[in-house]
Amino acid sequence: MTGDVGLFGPDSITWKLHREPILMLGGLRSLYLQALHPRTVAGVAQNSGYRSDMWGRLVRTSDYVATVIYGSTAQVEEAGSRLRRLHSRLSAVDPRTGERFRLDDPDLLRWVHVAEVESFLTTAQRAGVPLTPAEVDGYYTEQLRAAELVGLDPATVPATAAEVADYYAALRPELGLTRDSAEAAFFLTLPPIPETWGSRALRLGLTLGPPRWAYLGLASTALGLLPPWARKMYGAPGWPTADLAAALSARSLRALLKGILAVLPTEYRISPAHQAALTRAGLA
């Protein structure tokens, strides 16, 4: 390698995992999971315009993740600094207690981080991405760098699969479905079509036609990939058959994406951020 590859690099488990397009499904799963933390979802509801700009928020979140994974050191540090400054200025009120809390509370940042990285990892595994137990733990350990970027002390963040399982078990009594989380889940499952997306006929087609049903399939798969205890909080079954159905759907989607990418020109097979990182490293 001849250039700056930021936090990770081509030999990392992180790069191996995030080259999989199926991780977009993991991102959706993480949002459903994160919404089960009452303070986390209240902070989002009270400080963002996701109801009016859901797609813009998703794009910005996706861009941040891509920068952390593939950005240069300078790009990563700038993105992290910008996010920390934003969180430091924001607060919200717990609707259950009336208590005001900061959005950069380490407990909230830790929950968002763990739910995100565990969702990426679990979705990839359930979709058939081969990972050894050592690679699974290696991914969690590598992601401590991303946790530190948002302001967390890495020593306080779960760094192995066993530690993540213990973290979830300890936190479950604090989780549950609130009005904010129910509204967030509804928006994730049935997102509005922006008025700026073409003509009224096009918007109607997106709302009622095949794209809407395709997205509903993605959303139902993301929900099905949640841990059984999380699905039950949403009122969905926690049966093993639901786990199997979601895994089969994820595997089918991964196979479909791989088939589509195989026939596309090379420049469409990887993300622009990944391509830029390979170029900096002298590998493209």
The pLDDT of residue 195: 57
Instruction: Report yes or no on 34 lying in a domain.
Output: yes
Q: How many domains does the chain have?
A: 1
Instruction: Report yes or no on 155 lying in a domain.
Output: yes
Average pLDDT, the chain: 89
Instruction: Report yes or no on 42 lying in a domain.
Output: yes
d(CA 190, CA 217): 11
Instruction: Report yes or no on 2 lying in a domain.
Output: no
Instruction: Determine what percent of the chain is predicted with pLDDT higher than 70.
Output: 91
Instruction: Report yes or no on 92 lying in a domain.
Output: yes
For the segment 94-108, the average pLDDT, to the nearest whole number, is 95
Q: What are the backbone angles phi and psi of residue 139, rounded to the nearest 5°?
A: -65, -45
Q: Phi-psi region for residue 114, left (φ > 0), alpha (ψ -120 to 50) or beta?
A: alpha
The pLDDT of residue 268: 77
| 60 and 94 Cβ atoms separated by less than 8 Å | no
**What residues contact 203, with CB distance under 8 A and at least 6 apart?**
193, 195, 197
The pLDDT of residue 202: 46
Q: Per-residue pLDDT tens for 201-235?
A: 444 454 555 566 678 888 999 999 999 999 999 99
d(CA 214, CA 216): 5
SS3 for 177? coil
Domain extent for 65: 13-280
In this structure, are strands 100-102 and 91-93 parallel, antiparallel, or unpaired? antiparallel
Q: Per-residue pLDDT tens for 114-144?
A: 999 999 999 999 999 999 999 999 999 999 9
Residue closest to 227 by CA, chosen among 157, 165, 141, 162: 165
Instruction: Report yes or no on 3 lying in a domain.
Output: no
Instruction: Report yes or no on 240 lying in a domain.
Output: yes
Q: Fill in the DSSP letter of residue 97.
A: T
Instruction: Report yes or no on 6 lying in a domain.
Output: no
Q: Per-residue pLDDT tens for 61-93?
A: 999 999 999 999 999 999 999 999 999 999 999
